[in-house]
Structure 1
Amino acid sequence: MHPAPAISTCLPQTTVSGVATLSELDLQDAIHARDPHLIMEAVMEGAALHKEAFGWSVVDECDYSGLTAMALAVLLDSRHEGVCAVSTLLSAGGRLDTVDARGRTLLHFATSAPVARFLVEHGVPLPQGARERWLRALAAPPGRVLFDEGVPLAMPDNDGALPWMAVQLTHAGFAYKPWRSVVTLSEADIAYVSHRRQWGIGNVRALWPQTVYALSAADELAMHLVDGELKHAAQLIGLGAEQNLPQTDLFIEADDGDREYLDLTALGVATVLDSVDGTIHRLALFDASQLGGFHGKYRSTLLHLATAPVVARWLLDHGAPFDVKDSSGRLPEETLPPATAALVVAHRLSRVLPDSAGTSRPGGRL
């Protein structure tokens, strides 16, 4: 059987162009915070949901312009692997069938399975028969259900480009860069949602009871670590929250200079904040066998992030790699404060230099 031909017809524009008003700038901030209550307030102040007035950029990753509030919400929800901002906007009068000046549907901005599923289930424009294909593929583990190139899965934009997630549903696209499978919190798990988000969800549902939320356990875990709610953080880890999803940015003010950390995993967040506090309260929640790999932007290992000696000592004692370079070619000891760096150097030398029996011990695991 030959694959069905690709869809080539572009959809007409349904959005409008314009400059953001003050209420729309408030809405933009609320979407970035993914705060349901603030989103609701901005919409009630008259913020337009389908005006191409916004932009969004991430260093070394993407640069979007001409975004509507709905498109921005899809991008931010995708980055956090859950449904929150876009579902709040939908309840507030937003539409999922919009097409912008470049022919992009909201599906063009979805880069995670939970968000793509929400859009497909709630009415984003699709070719005939595509909805069933999407739901079948997204209900299975990543890569289990894939389609031949040319099978109609989504509407192209004006340049003929298909949404990223549609490409990943093909054999060739998934082989190039598969999407993740993450644990999302159901309605029964609402007790594990951070208090500030739970409060916002409650206020929105008082007005719009049918609003759907499917929050990433990994995203909530990072928020609990930031807020110091360690009991809930431990419960989320027990639920299977992804510990190595790079999605959290932190800005730390310090006497020796401010530091910005990008794309931290939950383990990365724990390492940075425990370093600030001079404790290992957050790190102690995690399985110590998972300390390898990269946990921040620019291939930062946990030791690259451990500025406090007590944290570095704990990581070294539990087998974290100490001899792995970041994307700039620097070892952890070359990026850390002097006292912490000296500790790492001493540990490395103890592993490199032979012991009394004339044997050297291996470095940490990556």
Structure 2
Amino acid sequence: MIYGRSLFHIVASLIILHLSGATKKGTEKQATSETQKSVQCGTWTKHADGGIFTSPNYPSKYPPDRECIYIIEAAPRQCIELYFDEKYSIEPSWECKFDHIEVRDGPFGFSPIIGRFCGQQNPPVIKSSGRFLWIKFFADGELESMGFSARYNFTPDPDFKDLGVLKPLPVCEFETGGPEGIVESVQITKEGKASASEAVDCKWYIRAPPRSKIYLRFLDYEMQNSNECKRNFVAVYDGSSAVEDLKAKFCSTVANDVMLRTGLGVIRMWADEGSRNSRFQMLFTSFQELNMEAAGADGPQMSRRVRLVRCSHTHLNGIQVCDSLRKTFPDTWYSAPHSHRLLPPLLQ
């Protein structure tokens, strides 16, 4: 990805709400299993310096039972300012427990919360501390209102005011895959993607064999500017490099193993000019997660479904791959490669 100018990625997704056992205004809400095919979460336009997005149907009433997630990403060394139009109405409630807008300072639903908003008064100007804002719009099954329109723009990050505008970054992408392998930061200079003095935003695309998932294990990891995520980090994406598929992000002193739910993993390393001594080395191995019947204590009639992982390789460059998987997920049966022998769970 090249950051010669401000770029962003905004995502809107619809989640079907299962409201069971919750009461509101004396009305019992029943659980629902209905699947809605629409994923429309309003409209949005985007440009280099910002954009505009709205709730569904705005300025008409938004539909019931709707949850939309919007994630905004700015370029390195930039922050986000978010403004809500005065033409605004979200069903009011105590502490905004029902319909509401929730804004968080970061890319995740567990990032620090900035505020939860509802009612007739539009929220104040919201400013991120870094490159991301996570926004959720939630509507329950009752009392729809007009909704909202929000615009955002990108501003210089005050933490980097003395460093000026970031120079355009070199293209830095790698493709790999197969049953197992290693990706590492030294590839950047070895393969001539960037010089040792340039800021980098590099991605490694890892593709597993068909019907396989990916397990990632850090063999080496160190951030030159530890705990400064704006300056250096290693991130893991599951399924694509889009911000909504961000699985984990590491910028402190520890990086944990990661199991992906798909067969496409993306590793991303960001390091500014003063963080190029940051490094990582990561092992990836593919595995298949299957179901098998396991007889219960009283015979086959008590059979149950248990998880079975078929590991691709036992060793890679002296690393015990399957053993690492077993220790990470000790309640799972394993099938060793090139063998019909099953390895039982470590915890039973």
RCO higher in structure (CA 8 A, sep ≥6):
2
State TM-score, norm by structure 1: 0.28
Query: TM-score under structure 2 normalisation?
Result: 0.29
> Hey, which of these two has a bigger chunk of strand by percent?
2
- Structure in which a larger fraction of residues adopt helix: 1
